[in-house]
Amino acid sequence: MSTPAFRFSLIINACLLASSAQAAVNFEKDLLPAITKKCMDCHKAPHVENGQKKEPKAGLRLDASWAILKGSENGPVLTPGAPDKSGIYESVTLPKDDDAHMPSKGEDLTKEEIALLKTWIQEGANFGGWIGSVEGMPAGAMTESTKPYTPRPHDLFYAALEKEVKPLSDEVLAKAKAAGAQVSPVKVDSPLLRVDFLTGVSKCDDAKVAEILPLKENIVQLDLGRTIITDAALKTIAQLPRLVSLDLRQTKITDAGLESLIGLKKLESLNLYGTEITDAGLQHLAKLKSLKNVHLWQSKATKPGVKQLSAAIPGLKASIE
């Protein structure tokens, strides 16, 4: 039987959750101070320092909304509504010893600041009128960076999936987290979940992945990038009926293992960057007609193989370089 103190704690937590759901994150007030303090030194407009011109690291500027939307020399770093597709979020959640971890030097963002960043992106990455530096700003960029976020077709797809499932109990979620998984809703108050093992990639094996099966009805995004999983984990993943996005980058999965995924009828995005996947594996993927994006950079797949895959799935965007 729960104690009065425990019941009071539940009430307080419920109130806090309700409050956070109602109050959108204010970028300029809630996030910009931390970004300015911890990130801006390496990511601002070109300037002269100690007599030498200093360019923004990786071409990424964080001193203006239009510049953040523009991204880095490697492409976009922000996808409104999708933290899992936003490099600006992923880089701050990577382990400290990862080369891609940001900030690369100095003080890290706190857990609270990272949570705010994630929520801000989930809510649509609205800059709320903040422009920032106008140095180097292209014509029309101001309008683009301040326009309100409008739901994408993907959001509507998730809304439909939400009607099919119920929220999971705290006990079920706690067991998955105890196994090393990071579990979070794809947006505030959604029963749909994103799961990753970013804080313990070197410990995430097939057995760890099997421990998220109690969440299988609710998982729509799964990131197993850089973990030590094998093809056996793909048999577990095959049991996630609403999986939409799957990241297997830099894992040791094989062509044969991909055959396990052909039953995932809602899978739209698959990241196979840095894997040993060849054209033989792409033949299995050709049966996944729901696929919209496949990332094959630095894999063993060839351009002719990718061309065949694209021909088998109309509208597919398959990137190999």
**To the nearest whole number, what is the mean pLDDT of the chain?**
85
Q: Which domain does 131 fall in, by range?
A: 25-148
Segment 134-163, tens digit of pLDDT? 888 876 665 555 555 555 566 678 888 999
Angle, alpha carbons 274-153-26 (nearest 5°): 85
Domain shared by 115 and 171, yes or no: no
Domain shared by 128 and 160, yes or no: no
Q: Which of 252, 255, 246 is nearest to 286 (CA)?
A: 255
Asked whether residue 10 carries a pLDDT value surpassing 60, the answer given is no
Within-domain flag for 127: yes
The residue from 121, 148, 175 where one domain ends is 148
Residue 7's pLDDT is what? 45
Residue 237's pLDDT is what? 98
Angle, alpha carbons 146-100-132 (nearest 5°): 25
Q: How far apart are CA 34 and CA 114, in angstroms?
A: 10
Asked whether residue 183 carries a pLDDT value surpassing 70, the answer given is yes
Domain shared by 92 and 174, yes or no: no
Element (H, E) at 279: helix 279-285
Segment 125-142, tens digit of pLDDT? 888 878 888 888 876 665
The count of structural domains within the chain is: 2
Q: 118-127, 170-179, 284-293, 300-309 — which is least confidently predicted?
A: 118-127
Domain shared by 103 and 170, yes or no: no
Q: Helix, strand or coil for residue 54?
A: strand
The number of helix segments (H) and strand segments (E) in the chain equals: 13, 9
Q: How far apart are CA 135 and CA 257, in angstroms?
A: 50
Q: How far apart are CA 191 and CA 168, in angstroms?
A: 7
Q: Maximum distance among all alpha carbons in the chain? A: 69
Stronger pLDDT, 111 or 7, i.e. the higher one? 111
Asked whether residue 1 carries a pLDDT value surpassing 50, the answer given is no
At residue 47 the predicted structure's pLDDT band, cuts being 50, 70 and 90, is: confident
Within-domain flag for 16: no
Domain shared by 33 and 108, yes or no: yes
- What is the DSSP track for 96-119? TTSTT-SSSSSPPPPHHHHHHHHH
Residue 148's pLDDT is what? 52
> Mean pLDDT throughout 262-277?
94
Within-domain flag for 12: no
Within-domain flag for 239: yes
Within-domain flag for 303: yes
At residue 11 the predicted structure's pLDDT band, cuts being 50, 70 and 90, is: very low
The residue from 123, 148, 173 where one domain ends is 148
Find the radius of gyration of the CA atoms of the chain: 21
The residue from 113, 148, 183 where one domain ends is 148
Tell me whether the omega of the peptide bond preceding residue 314 falls within 30 degrees of 0, making it cis: no
Q: Are 277 and 296 in contact (CB under 8 A)?
A: yes
Quote the pTM value.
0.60
Domain shared by 199 and 133, yes or no: no
Domain shared by 181 and 63, yes or no: no
> Mean pLDDT throughout 64-91?
88
Residue 150's pLDDT is what? 52
Within-domain flag for 10: no
Asked whether residue 188 carries a pLDDT value surpassing 80, the answer given is no
**CA 135 from centroid of its chain's CA atoms:** 30
User: Side by side, which strands form the sheet with 293-295?
Assistant: 182-185, 193-196, 219-223, 245-247, 269-271, 293-295, 317-319
Stronger pLDDT, 59 or 19, i.e. the higher one? 59
Within-domain flag for 140: yes
Segment 213-242, tens digit of pLDDT? 999 999 999 999 889 999 999 999 999 999
